[in-house]
């Protein structure tokens, strides 16, 4: 479609970002500083993709004026940014923990498989390899859960105890077996083995599936990952990306998921090439990769999701098919956003950051009842969504579709 003929639009939930007194300054900050937006979005989107997939939720870093001690150091550990961790002011906070989970920088680095960072923490900063979080998990528990062999080897060499049990009575090998990476038990016995899926190879096949078949495939891949993950309920532990339950009724026919069948079918070729990787992992990795492919930030990602078989009773709460209506309703306002995102455990800053995903893609009236892109280049991930939202004056569009807004000055 000719970009010159596209009318830019905003949805009622987008306008909420501009008019709400708490959302507004955050949206303005993102409009003025793309780096800040990228940093916050990467953390919040990663948290979304992993809700319900680990023993402890992944805390998304924020940029509040009064950050808790050690937050920045742990954030760099999560991203594997070893060089940035070496500032003296940050090193002073190396032993600080997350207040809600007790997780340390070593837990973060091990969870994401950052071997260089784990090596730095053990060899240079002399962290205790057997330090536990509030659930009794060590860094070895985290690394074993997702099959990070190099990290496991380093932790074992550094004195990590493979027999140490958490408060649930689980050892590292127990957790590996529960996540269907049971062969890691051999690694814990010093047997040479690598069971971690090769992320680069899978991402290459995802790129082929997305780029070679349809121009707007990257935005659609992000939407599949978002919708698969955005049903999570932190109280019931149901919904979320684990299980890939969007394959089944009634979630499959939820109005909010209209048009996603095409992307689900496109990603089947990736599953065919990597039968040992779950559909849930492929969907979420495709969403993370699509952001990177279109110029956005790299999204921290860990494997380990499993696929629901839609049997009754479900193998675990995450494999239950969630009821329809959990995803955001674009016709609503700020209170609705806080209710939907709050159910998943997101704060106001994370809500605004995730809304920035609208910088990719467009709406189609035949699918959603809305029409048009949010930005002039809907195939590039940047902060244009926030620039347009905050710098333009928006008025309700006079047309026969659902309520949406157009730029008052240009009516485009």
pLDDT (tens digit per residue) in 161-217? 888 898 888 888 777 765 544 455 555 544 333 334 577 888 889 998 887 655 568
pLDDT at 313 over 80: no
Cβ-contact 86, 167 below 8 angstroms: no
Query: Nearest to residue 111, comparing CAs of 147, 70, 68?
Result: 147
Instruction: Express each pLDDT in 380-401 by its tens digit.
Output: 999 999 999 999 999 999 888 8
pLDDT of amino acid 178 = 59
Dihedral of CA 345/263/220/410: which sign? Answer: negative
Round to whole Å and give the CA distance between 296 and 100. Answer: 30
Round to whole Å and give the CA distance between 166 and 177. Answer: 15
Instruction: Express each pLDDT in 130-166 by its tens digit.
Output: 999 988 999 999 888 877 888 998 998 888 888 889 8
**If you average pLDDT over residues 291-305, what whole number do you get?**
89
Instruction: Express each pLDDT in 347-383 by its tens digit.
Output: 999 999 999 999 998 888 777 888 889 999 999 999 9
Domains and CATH numbers, the chain: 2-57+198-410 (1.10.520.10), 63-175 (1.25.40.20)
3-class secondary-structure state, position 266: helix
Sequence-distant (≥ 6) Cβ neighbours of residue 268 within 8 angstroms:
none
Residues labelled catalytic: 227, 374
pLDDT of amino acid 384 = 96
**If you average pLDDT over residues 245-250, what whole number do you get?**
91
Cβ-contact 361, 296 below 8 angstroms: no
Question: 34-49 vs 348-355: helix axis angle to the nearest 10?
Answer: 100
The reply to whether the predicted model has a pTM over 0.85 is no
pLDDT of amino acid 5 = 45
Instruction: Express each pLDDT in 28-70 by its tens digit.
Output: 999 999 999 999 999 999 999 998 764 333 333 333 433 444 7
> 334 falls in which pLDDT band (50, 70, 90)?
very high
pLDDT of amino acid 57 = 32
3-class secondary-structure state, position 402: coil
């Amino acid at each position: 479609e000719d970009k010159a003929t596209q009318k830019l639009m905003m949805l009622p939930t987008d306008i909420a970002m501009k008019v709400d007194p708490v959302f507004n300054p955050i949206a303005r900050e993102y409009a003025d500083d793309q780096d800040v937006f990228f940093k916050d979005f990467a953390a919040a989107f990663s948290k979304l993709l992993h809700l319900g997939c680990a023993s402890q939720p992944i805390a998304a870093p924020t940029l509040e004026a009064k950050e808790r001690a050690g937050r920045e150091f742990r954030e760099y550990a999560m991203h594997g940014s070893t060089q940035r961790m070496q500032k003296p002011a940050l090193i002073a906070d190396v032993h600080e923990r997350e207040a809600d989970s007790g997780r340390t920088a070593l837990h973060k680095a091990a969870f994401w498989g950052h071997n260089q960072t784990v090596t730095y923490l053990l060899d240079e900063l002399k962290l205790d390899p057997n330090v536990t979080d509030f659930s009794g998990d060590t860094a070895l528990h985290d690394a074993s859960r997702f099959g990070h062999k190099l990290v496991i080897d380093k932790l074992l060499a550094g004195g990590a105890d493979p027999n140490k049990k958490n408060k649930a009575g689980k050892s590292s090998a127990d957790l590996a077996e529960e996540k269907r990476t049971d062969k890691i038990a051999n690694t814990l016995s010093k047997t040479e083995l690598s069971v971690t899926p090769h992320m680069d190879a899978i991402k290459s096949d995802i790129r082929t599936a997305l780029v070679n078949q349809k121009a707007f495939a990257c935005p659609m891949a992000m939407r599949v990952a978002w919708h698969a993950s955005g049903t999570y309920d932190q109280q019931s532990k149901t919904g979320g990306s684990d299980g890939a339950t969007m394959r089944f009724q009634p979630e499959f026919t939820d109005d909010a998921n209209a048009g996603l069948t095409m992307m689900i079918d496109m990603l089947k070729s990736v599953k065919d090439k990597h039968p040992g990787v779950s559909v849930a992992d492929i969907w979420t990795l495709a969403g993370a990769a699509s952001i990177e492919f279109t110029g956005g930030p790299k999204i921290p990602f860990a494997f380990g999701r499993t696929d629901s078989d839609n049997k009754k009773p479900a193998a675990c709460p995450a494999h239950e098919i969630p009821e329809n209506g959990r995803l955001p309703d674009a016709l609503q306002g700020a209170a609705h956003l806080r209710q939907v995102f709050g159910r998943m455990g997101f704060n106001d800053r994370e809500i605004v950051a995730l809304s920035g995903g609208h910088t990719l893609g467009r709406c189609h009236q035949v699918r959603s009842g809305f029409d048009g892109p949010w930005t002039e280049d809907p195939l590039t991930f940047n902060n244009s969504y926030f620039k347009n939202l905050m710098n333009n004056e928006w008025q309700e569009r006079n047309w026969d579709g659902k309520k949406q807004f157009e730029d008052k000055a240009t009516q485009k």
